[in-house]
Amino acid sequence: MNIHWLCLFIATQFEVLWVIGLKYSTSILDWIGTLLCIAATFVLMTIAGKKLPIGTTYTVFTGIGTVCTLLSDVVFFGEKLTVMKVIFIATLLMGVIGLKLITKDHNPLTEGAKL
């Protein structure tokens, strides 16, 4: 795993935090933490997007973020985990893993791609 994939993975973790923060923030300190998580997410996504294809970056970001947010809801907030949710999470994860496996890092600016 290179730095760009690592930044993408860390960005998804910050996404989970700010999504939870949007629902549960009640004080100014909570909201500041939520805003910092939003900022960290977008900085890390920008770094990841410099080398990884944007479509793959966004798909992996939303896929992992969705799975982690749903699992956080189950673990920390008592949401019920059903068989159908597990099936759909597994399907989503297979797609994310598949994209990771077939995606090569690239930088169109250094490879002479036309924009």
Query: Could you give the angle at the alpha carbon of 34 between the alpha carbons of 32 and 40, nearest 5°?
Result: 100
Torsion angle defined by CA atoms of residues 8, 94, 23 and 55, in that order, rounded to the nearest 10 degrees:
50
* Any domain includes 41: yes
Residue 103 DSSP symbol: P
Q: What pLDDT sits at residue 108?
A: 52
If one counts the domains in the chain, the total is 1
Distance (Å, whole) CA 36 – CA 95: 29
* Any domain includes 112: no
Distance (Å, whole) CA 61 – CA 96: 9
Name the residue range of residue 33's domain: 3-102
* Any domain includes 90: yes
* 3-class DSSP assignment, residue 66: helix
The 10s digit of each residue's pLDDT in 46-103 is: 999 888 888 888 888 988 888 888 889 899 988 898 999 889 888 988 888 888 788 7
* Any domain includes 110: no
What's the whole-model pTM score?
A: 0.75
The 10s digit of each residue's pLDDT in 87-96 is: 988 898 888 8
